[in-house]
A and B are shown apart, each in its own frame.
Chain A
Amino acid sequence: MSAVQTVVVVVVLYVLGSAARKILGDEARARIDDLPKTMLRLAARQLPADEREKWLIDWESNLLIPLLTETERYPLTRFLRSWRFGFDLMLHATRIRAELTATKPPVLNLVAWRKAAVDTACVTSLVWVPLHLLSPGTFWGIFAAGVAGVSTLGIEVLTFKRSYYAFDTTPMVVEAGVLRTLLGRKLIFRLLMLVLLPLAVLEGIAHVARGGSPRRMRKHRDVKRTRRAPR
């Protein structure tokens, strides 16, 4: 390839790259601006069917203020304000539903407390899992699920605490429920209870069936580690 051809190729690549970067930037910006609208639609879906449209119109027309007028020159501010507007409504739309349907969520939600008790029992049950018998995959799976479950439980408790200091205390159970769903705590505990714990039990049974015992297994592992250790 001659020098002229190389220069032409470089120039063409540069122009194409610039155009692609601009197109991708515009695409990303449009999608970022569209996401709060999606959040608003998700929030509206939590309202009674006959109320959805008019509240969605209200929210979308208010969303235009941070999107268009206030922060036209400041993309980061626009992004933060519009996302906060949409995300907060999406997270707490059940409060608005409770107001519209005039059915206040009970402060003492027995179902929620029962679920919390079951979750706590799940976490406690981890203590009895013979972790040293497990394969690394199962061990780290249980570890990650346990940490994630306890963390989400902690965040939920913090939410309760925050709601306590807020002015309306009644929707706190609903708020915690939505947060729990968003964080996927239910999914985490199902994974733990239905997949990882049975797997752990099966691995333990298989180990014992092979003639091993937890004590011997530990001793065997320690011996192997000592052999591997550098002198």
Chain B
Amino acid sequence: MSEMKDVRVTLAVAAILNAFLEGMGQAQYGYKLMTETGFSSAKVYQILARLVTAGWLIRHDDPDASPASGGPPRITYTLRPEAVPRARRAVTTARAPLEAAPQKRRFTLPGFQPGVVTGWDT
């Protein structure tokens, strides 16, 4: 097993990690993450590249899968089980300042609203 590296966790990275934690056990892919978070394709793939390079995500390649048949695309990602505690910690850390002073933020993140209980905390 390759070693997991530390990741620079921005709010955007936390939002993507949040999506992975919420959909635990489901295959995640770029377009789905785009629609869930509202980020552009480049931002989503930039973060996916960061997380894959750091060893937080596992990349699955299923050549038979195709969106044409209603399924997910060929390449999907799952959060490595060893990365789950780190991801939870990262999301909690990123969310703390938003919860402390949400009214002062100039922007909000789609899919990562401050104060929303996302279900994976329990």
Chain B residues near A167 (CB, 8 Å)?
10-12
State the Cβ distance, A198 to closest chain B Cβ, in Å. 40
The answer to whether A65 and B31 touch across the interface, beta carbons within 8 angstroms, is yes
A88 touches B53 (CB 8 A): no
Which residues of A have CB within 8 Å of B66? 61, 64
Tally of A-B Cβ pairs under 8 angstroms: 85
Interchain CB contact under 8 A, B41 and A69? no
Number of interface residues of A (CB under 8 A): 30
Taking a contact as CB atoms under 8 Å apart, the answer to whether B73 and A165 are in contact is no
**How far does the alpha carbon of A66 sit from the alpha carbon of B65 in the complex, in Å?**
16
Interface contact A92-B67, CB-CB below 8 Å: no
Please report the C-alpha to C-alpha distance between residue A164 and residue B73 in the assembled complex, in whole angstroms.
Answer: 33
If A61-B66, A66-B31 touch, whether A54 touches B46 (CB-CB below 8 Å) is no
Q: Given A69-B67, A100-B49, A102-B53, are A95 and B42 also a contact pair (CB < 8 Å)?
A: yes
A66 and B41 CA atoms in complex are apart in Å by 12
Which A residues are CB-close (under 8 A) to B12? Answer: 166-168
CA distance A69 to B31 in the complex (A): 12
| Contact partners of A100 in chain B: CB under 8 A | 49, 53
What does DSSP make chain A's interface, helix, strand, loop or mixed? helix
Q: How far is the CA of A91 from the CA of B29 in the complex (A)?
A: 20
Interface residue? A89 (CB, 8 A): yes
With a CB–CB cut-off of 8 A, which chain A residues contact B113? Answer: none
Does A59 reach chain B (CB closer than 8 Å)?
A: yes
Given contacts A65-B73, A167-B12, contact A59 B45 (CB under 8 A): yes
Does A172 sit within 8 A of B, measured CB to CB? Answer: no
Give the complex CA separation of A66 and B73 in angstroms: 12
Determine if A64 and B73 form an interchain contact, defined as CB atoms under 8 angstroms apart.
Answer: yes
Do B45 and A165 have beta carbons less than 8 Å apart?
A: no
Tell me if B120 counts as interface (CB < 8 A to partner A): no
Instruction: Give me the 6 closest cross-chain CB pairs, A-B, nearest first.
Output: A92-B42, A61-B73, A58-B75, A99-B49, A61-B74, A167-B10
Identify the B interface with A (CB < 8 A): 10-12, 29-31, 34, 40-43, 45-46, 49-50, 53, 59, 61, 65-68, 70, 73-75, 106-107
Beyond A86-B41, A95-B42, A102-B53, 20 additional contacts (C-beta under 8 Å) are A54-B61, A58-B45, A58-B74, A61-B66, A61-B75, A64-B68, A69-B68, A84-B40, A84-B41, A85-B31, A88-B40, A89-B42, A91-B42, A95-B46, A96-B49, A99-B50, A99-B53, A100-B49, A100-B53, A165-B107
